[in-house]
């Protein structure tokens, strides 16, 4: 498998809200970049503002892409975004499609998250609880910067309200009107697989599958947190604990019912996932898919 995953263009991994490259020794994409590199892929794991709007994060990503293109000599890159990272990648592709070969959304809230709607409704920004939540997120973002060892740099701008707004159903609807590439025109459908020369893909998971409660997830506290979040979903009971199954659709839907919660899908919690689940394989198979497509 030495060159089985050697895509034509570099792979750029974009994290979601409260994302990072590596906190001390703990990577965001646990075991995934290493598996891709073993297959011959050129992989860049990047950092953007952990809490901010899709547009601000997207502009940061464009500057990173420009640097990667300059350093590697590649004309384009393949963007793989987890959670809000998917919307960040979509923004970059909409603005500079000539730089992007493909956008892959992994559990991306492409039509917003009912969980974000729930928090905005339950804890308005001008309420005491809302201000406390905003403070907690700012502290977490600062902590991420302090503990980041994978990509050091200045503290990136933080905007809690803009981040929340971007992730709500209403905010996503506005974003989609401006940047509709790859978004299904019908609820639960599939979007255009290629727009302006950029290929669009997506996959996501659900926690309601009993397999997701087995295996390593018995010892994974984040999994129980995701299961608890399901009570905040009313339109889509099938969700990964943070993003609804149908809301995640973008372009070619590779799968939307993997037994993986929102963090399992990028192999977090040291790879503790449900029995039979293999999130790393989803990424290596996708790199092979991109290579076969000439990307």
Report yes or no on 40 lying in a domain. yes
Domain span at 273:
11-292
Per-residue confidence band for 217, with pLDDT thresholds at 50, 70 and 90: confident
Per annotation, catalytic residue among 49, 53, 83, 163: 83
Report yes or no on 51 lying in a domain. yes
Report yes or no on 2 lying in a domain. no
> pLDDT tens digits, residue range 254-286?
999 999 999 999 999 888 888 888 999 999 999
Q: Is the pLDDT of residue 163 over 90?
A: yes
Q: Can 163 be counted among the known catalytic residues?
A: no
Q: Is the pLDDT of residue 291 over 80?
A: yes
Cα separation, 20 vs 6, whole angstroms: 25
CA 237 to chain centre: 20
Report yes or no on 5 lying in a domain. no
Q: Is the pLDDT of residue 295 over 90?
A: yes
Residue holding tokens 């943070």?
242
pTM of the model: 0.95
**Least reliable range by pLDDT among 20-24, 71-75, 114-118, 231-235:** 231-235
Q: What is the mean pLDDT of the chain?
A: 93
Report yes or no on 254 lying in a domain. yes
Report yes or no on 1 lying in a domain. no
Q: What is the pLDDT of residue 263?
A: 95
The share of the chain scoring above pLDDT 90, in percent, equals 73
Tokens of residue 3, six digits: 């060159």
Q: Which CATH number goes with the domain that contains 82?
A: 3.40.50.1820
The share of the chain scoring above pLDDT 70, in percent, equals 99
Q: Can 240 be counted among the known catalytic residues?
A: yes
Q: What is the pLDDT of residue 130?
A: 85
- Nearest Cα neighbor of 31 from 295, 292, 284 is 284
- Nearest Cα neighbor of 12 from 94, 100, 87, 97 is 100
Q: Is the pLDDT of residue 167 over 70?
A: yes
Report yes or no on 17 lying in a domain. yes
Report yes or no on 3 lying in a domain. no
Q: Is the pLDDT of residue 88 over 70?
A: yes
Cα separation, 85 vs 18, whole angstroms: 10
The pLDDT of 128-138, averaged and rounded, is: 88
Q: Can 83 be counted among the known catalytic residues?
A: yes
Total number of domains constituting the chain: 1
The pLDDT of 251-255, averaged and rounded, is: 97
The count of residues in the chain is: 295
Per-residue confidence band for 179, with pLDDT thresholds at 50, 70 and 90: very high
Per-residue confidence band for 1, with pLDDT thresholds at 50, 70 and 90: low
Q: Is the pLDDT of residue 250 over 80?
A: yes
> pLDDT tens digits, residue range 183-195?
999 998 999 999 9
Burial of residue 187 (CB within 10 Å: 0-12, 13-18, 19+) is exposed
Per annotation, catalytic residue among 82, 164, 223, 262: 262
């Amino acid at each position: 498998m030495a060159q089985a995953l050697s895509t034509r263009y570099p792979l750029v991994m974009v994290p979601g809200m409260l994302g990072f490259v590596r906190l001390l020794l703990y990577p965001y994409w646990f075991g995934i970049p290493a598996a891709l590199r073993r297959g011959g892929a050129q992989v860049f794991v990047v950092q953007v503002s952990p809490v901010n709007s899709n547009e601000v994060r997207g502009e940061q990503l464009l500057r990173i892409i420009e640097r990667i293109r300059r350093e590697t000599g590649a004309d384009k890159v393949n963007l793989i975004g987890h959670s809000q990272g998917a919307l960040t990648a979509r923004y970059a592709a909409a603005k500079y499609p000539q730089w992007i070969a493909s956008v892959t959304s992994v559990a991306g809230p492409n039509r917003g998250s009912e969980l974000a709607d729930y928090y905005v409704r339950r804890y308005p920004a001008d309420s005491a609880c809302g201000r406390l939540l905003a403070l907690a997120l700012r502290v977490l973002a600062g902590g991420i910067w302090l503990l980041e060892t994978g990509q050091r740099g200045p503290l990136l701008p933080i905007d809690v309200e803009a981040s929340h707004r971007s992730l709500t159903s209403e905010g996503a609807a506005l974003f989609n009107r401006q940047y509709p590439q790859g978004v299904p025109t019908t609820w639960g459908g599939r979007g255009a697989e290629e727009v302006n020369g950029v290929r669009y893909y997506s996959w996501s998971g659900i926690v309601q599958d009993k397999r997701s409660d087995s295996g390593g997830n018995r010892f994974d506290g984040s999994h129980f947190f995701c299961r608890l979040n399901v009570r905040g979903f009313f339109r889509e009971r099938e969700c990964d604990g943070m993003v609804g199954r149908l809301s995640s659709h973008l372009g070619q839907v590779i799968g939307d019912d993997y037994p993986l919660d929102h963090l399992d899908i990028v192999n977090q919690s040291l790879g503790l996932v449900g029995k039979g689940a293999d999130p790393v394989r989803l990424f290596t198979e996708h790199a092979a898919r991109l290579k076969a497509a000439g990307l």
